[in-house]
Amino acid sequence: MKRVVITGFGAITPIGNTATEYLSGLQNGVSGAGAITQFDAEKFKTRFACEIKDFNPLDHFDRKEIRKMDRFTVVSMVSADEAIKMAGIDQTDNLNLERVGVIYASGIGGLTTLQADIIDFAKGSGVPRFNPFMIPKMICDITPGQISMKYGYRGINYSTVSACASSNHAIMNAYDYIRLGRNDIIVTGGAESTIVETAMGGFSSMKALSTRNDDPKTASRPFDGERDGFVLGEGAGTIVLESLEHAQKRGATIYGEIVGVAATADAYHITAPHPEGLGVIAVMNAALEEAGLNKEDVDYINVHGTSTPLGDIAEVKAIQAVFGDHAYDLNISSTKSMTGHLLGGAGAVEGIAGILAINHNFIPPTINHFVDDPELDAKLNFTFNEAQERKVDVVLSNTFGFGGHNASIIFKRFE
């Protein structure tokens, strides 16, 4: 099996529109939440979200290109461009393009486009005159297609869809293709941009969203005793994975390595986690086994940690079951406290947080902690409110999705 390393990454998030800005947001514990600007949310139970700030697609694409892409694809392409340039694979003269692929995720895809076209149809005369770009803008798999067309990559190309575990599954698949020798480089990650009436209304009806409209910046409160739901976010994260042999041959900078991945199912409920975290226990144990690591080797867990009452407790129970006494020595944090929940893009953006932690020796905080939850062990280090300096060699990143999907990835300092 080939070793798989990270040679580039890019991010566009509610707390920074580049990987560098994202790093600053993580280090300073910035909240990305605020009043919704993308539609009039006055009549909704939740009127805030974690939107991307100061972003103009026209800074990156011309109007003709933008008309052919949903917002989730636009942000994907921007983060991919950053990652590809960092990795130095935007210049393709010395690459075998048939061995450079793209596996890119979205949990929902072009919901903005789908909603707009249905509303336009409903308001019209009943004659079915839909936008000719509606289908290619809407489908989840259009992003890897767009990236491959822009750069000429002709290797493996598809999307993964598994709700909020989608981009972790994309990264895992990319890892497997490279270590099996089927591709040399794969651009991977995920994106979501669904801050529209349909998503806000749907998640609200499930009582999944925080309704802290009087104080949105502190609404995402993972592990806090008064948490009341997650905050919807948008953005994208892209990671360039490459075989070690190929990266070294072309003199690429290496930012880390993936050493273990795993995926399981809860087989329990369509939306609720297993109360004892059985699937989560299994997925973390399997990732550690594949990596050949002991539980004591893990320094930091970037948890799923959505700020929902049941989910946070189940994940912590699983961590304690897997790590035992070492659970008190490692750091735990939820970067969703800052970015909100990026759904299908969460795993990629949070994986980049782990890569940044390794390269800058710090633990991103879980902000917005005010009240201890009596059901959570107060001796655990949740990295509340402020980032902590720490040498970070191994990061475990968890994502879980509706349907009972669990996915864990282990990032390691490259040696």
> Would you name the residues annotated as active-site residues?
164, 304, 341
- Write the CB contacts of 105 (distance below 8 Å, at least 6 apart in sequence): 140, 159, 160, 161, 162, 166, 167, 169, 170, 189, 190, 191, 344, 345, 347, 348
b vs e for 69-87, b when ≥16 Cβ sit within 10 Å of the residue's Cβ?
bbbbbbbbbbbbbbbbebb
Cα dihedral 212, 194, 162, 118 sign: positive
Write phi, then psi, for 382 (nearest 5 degrees). Answer: -85, 5
Q: How far apart are CA 164 and CA 344, in angstroms?
A: 4
- Write the CB contacts of 221 (distance below 8 Å, at least 6 apart in sequence): 210, 227, 228, 307, 337, 368, 369, 370
Q: Which residues pair with 398 in a beta bridge?
A: 408
Angle subtended by helix axes 346-360 and 166-179, to nearest 10: 60
Write phi, then psi, for 257 (nearest 5 degrees). Answer: -140, 145
Looking at 124-253, list the stretches that DSSP marks H as alpha helix, in order from N- to C-terminal side.
134-138, 142-151, 166-179, 197-205, 244-249
Under DSSP, the state recorded for 372 is B
Beta strands at 256-265 and 331-333: parallel, antiparallel or unpaired: unpaired
Q: How far apart are CA 399 and CA 354, in angstroms?
A: 13
- Write the CB contacts of 248 (distance below 8 Å, at least 6 apart in sequence): none
Is 340 within 8 Å of 50 (Cβ atoms)? yes
- Quote the Cα angle for 68-70-76, to 5°: 105
Q: Is residue 126 packed enough to be buried (19+ CB in 10 Å), middle (13-18) or exposed (0-12)?
A: exposed
Q: How far apart are CA 290 and CA 288, in angstroms?
A: 6
Beta strands at 300-302 and 331-333: parallel, antiparallel or unpaired: parallel
Is 134 within 8 Å of 114 (Cβ atoms)? yes
